[in-house]
């Protein structure tokens, strides 16, 4: 694949010239994602005024688009200390191993003892602010780190398409693995109805999920081409917006192409649109954050009614006790019609869906943040009788969503 000069996007107000080209801030002859449709690890950055100009255009489109989807990759989490595949080791945004970063370097990502300690970045928090202002409809997350939920984004509006550290029914998918069928169907539905996609921190190197970005981009370009036709619809939608330091194979499909660190972009968004700052949640430092169930339930009366034993983590939820599927008319069910979900230590559970559906496990404790640790017995390979223990984590936001009946199926039920 041939590297092309970086541009600003195909929208007329950006493509007609006058904006300063992004400058190269890192040179590399290596491929960002060897074996995939990626370009070199060269990195580029907009100057401050150019970035601010493009942010104003972006905000205008966010305000007029009707179905905005965030599509985020590893680049959104590097500032949180979570490593990625595509960043060069000597890049300004590379995650350092413990002991390698200068303690006086203000831009160095935090050094984590465990990736579970990672906390949301500024961009995670700004995306949540966009959702609170009804300017973001859905989020497709390629990462596994739970940072959108920690920032306050609801689990039921999130598709963790490549797996999650905090969902035992959705383990991380290897490069050669298959996407979970229900999550892929969900992706297809949003590909069809989204009118704007924010591809932030993703290399767009040819993953199946990239169709979300390309599908919306191609539809937007056709819409612009038909603007003069009476029934062509509205061109107020934003199409595909890409922000990363490295080039991607789909830059030519971007209505707006931003070259910036994502947290820098987030800060400019807040500066240009003050309401985002007003909705911005507080930042949390590693090892100090906790995420109790009540942090994710807005209806405190409902939570009280459906909490059997808060100290021992026993709840009532409107789900089938065998399949974990949400019950019909769940909003009008009486307390005695609900399913008991017991996550106390030593409680026995089974997985309801995914690769290991039906496998059983035992609650063995909780992480410092409050998430449950469950030791499952998984077969060594599909169909094998011999099993081995494997510890997985259930995020507290899943229980909050279950109490409220917001997700179609919960990851575990008791046995």
Full pLDDT tens readout for the chain, 415 residues: 555 668 999 998 887 778 999 999 998 777 655 655 567 789 999 999 999 999 999 999 999 999 999 999 999 999 999 987 545 445 454 443 334 444 445 667 888 889 999 999 999 999 999 999 999 999 999 999 999 999 999 999 999 999 999 999 999 998 888 999 999 999 999 999 999 999 999 999 999 999 999 999 999 998 888 765 433 344 578 999 999 999 999 999 999 999 999 999 999 999 999 999 999 977 876 556 899 999 999 999 999 999 999 999 999 999 999 999 999 999 999 999 999 999 999 999 999 999 999 999 999 999 999 999 999 999 988 778 889 999 999 999 999 999 999 999 999 999 9
77 close to 151: Cβ distance less than 8 angstroms:
no
- For residue 384 the two structure tokens come to 């094998």
Q: How many CB atoms lie within 10 A of CB 20?
A: 13
Report the distance separating Cα 276 and Cα 294, nearest Å.
24
CA dihedral 145, 150, 152, 154 (to 10 degrees): 50
32 close to 86: Cβ distance less than 8 angstroms:
yes
Distances (CA, A) of 93 to 26, 82, 87, 110: 11, 11, 7, 11
Task: Answer whether 0.85 is exceeded by the pTM.
Answer: yes
322 close to 331: Cβ distance less than 8 angstroms:
no
Q: What is the pLDDT of residue 177?
A: 87
Report the distance separating Cα 197 and Cα 140, nearest Å.
10
Report the distance separating Cα 267 and Cα 100, nearest Å.
27
DSSP 104-148: T-TTSPP--SSGGG----HHHHHHHHHHHTT---EEEE---S-HH
Sign of CA dihedral 73, 78, 80, 82: positive
Q: How many CB atoms lie within 10 A of CB 302?
A: 13
All residues at 6 or more sequence positions from 48 whose CB lies less than 8 Å from its CB, including other chains: none
Q: What is the pLDDT of residue 40?
A: 77
Sign of CA dihedral 104, 109, 110, 112: negative
For tokens 């040819």, the residue is: 206
Query: Quick one: which of 272, 369, 260 has its CA closest to 62?
Result: 272
Residue ranges, CATH 3.40.50.1220, the chain: 12-278
Report the distance separating Cα 407 and Cα 329, nearest Å.
14
Q: How many CB atoms lie within 10 A of CB 242?
A: 26
Fold entry, domain 12-278: Rossmann fold (3.40.50)
Q: What is the pLDDT of residue 96?
A: 39
Q: What is the pLDDT of residue 211?
A: 97
Report the distance separating Cα 45 and Cα 47, nearest Å.
7
159 close to 190: Cβ distance less than 8 angstroms:
yes
Report the distance separating Cα 322 and Cα 220, nearest Å.
44
User: Please, where are the H alpha helices in 175-296?
Assistant: 181-193, 211-225, 262-272, 274-278
Q: What is the pLDDT of residue 266?
A: 98
- For residue 95 the two structure tokens come to 């995650």
Give ∠ CA 402-403-405 in degrees, rounded to 5.
60
Query: Quick one: which of 287, 319, 328, 333 has its CA closest to 398?
Result: 319
Q: How many CB atoms lie within 10 A of CB 113?
A: 10
């Amino acid at each position: 694949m041939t590297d092309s000069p970086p541009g600003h996007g195909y929208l007329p107000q950006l493509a007609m010239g006058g904006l300063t080209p992004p400058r190269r801030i890192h040179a590399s002859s290596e491929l960002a994602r060897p074996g995939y449709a990626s370009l070199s690890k060269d990195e580029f950055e907009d100057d401050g005024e150019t970035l601010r100009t493009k942010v104003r255009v972006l905000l205008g489109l966010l305000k007029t688009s009707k179905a905005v989807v965030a599509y985020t990759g590893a680049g959104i989490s590097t500032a949180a200390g979570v490593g990625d595949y595509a960043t060069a080791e000597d890049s300004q945004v590379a995650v350092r191993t413990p002991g390698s970063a200068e303690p006086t370097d203000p831009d160095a990502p935090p050094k984590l003892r465990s990736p579970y300690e990672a906390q949301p970045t500024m961009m995670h928090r700004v995306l949540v602010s966009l959702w609170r202002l009804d300017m973001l409809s859905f989020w497709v997350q390629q990462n596994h780190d739970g940072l959108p939920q920690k920032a306050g984004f609801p689990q039921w509006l999130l598709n963790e398409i490549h797996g999650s550290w905090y969902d035992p029914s959705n383990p991380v998918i290897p490069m050669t693995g298959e996407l979970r069928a229900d999550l892929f169907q969900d992706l297809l539905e949003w590909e069809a109805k989204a009118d704007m996609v924010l591809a932030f921190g993703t290399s767009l190197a040819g993953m199946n999920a990239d169709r979300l970005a390309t599908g919306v981009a191609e539809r937007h370009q056709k819409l612009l081409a038909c603007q003069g036709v009476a029934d062509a619809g509205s061109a107020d939608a934003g199409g595909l917006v890409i922000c990363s330091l490295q080039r991607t194979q789909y830059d030519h499909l971007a209505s707006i192409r931003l070259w910036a660190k994502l947290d820098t972009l987030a800060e400019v968004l807040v500066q240009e649109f003050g309401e985002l700052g007003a909705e911005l949640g507080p930042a949390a430092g590693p090892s100090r954050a906790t995420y109790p169930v009540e942090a994710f339930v807005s209806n405190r009366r409902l939570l009280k009614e459906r909490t059997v034993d808060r100290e021992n983590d026993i709840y009532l939820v409107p789900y089938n006790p065998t399949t974990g599927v949400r019950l019909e008319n769940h909003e009008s069910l009486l307390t005695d019609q609900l399913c008991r979900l017991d996550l106390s230590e030593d409680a026995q559970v089974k997985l309801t869906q995914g690769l290991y559906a039906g496998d059983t496990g035992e609650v063995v404790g909780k992480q410092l943040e409050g998430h449950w640790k469950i030791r499952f017995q998984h077969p060594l390979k599909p169909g094998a009788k011999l099993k081995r223990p494997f510890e997985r984590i259930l995020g507290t936001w899943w229980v909050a969503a279950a109490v409220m009946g917001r997700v179609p199926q919960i990851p575990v039920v008791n046995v």
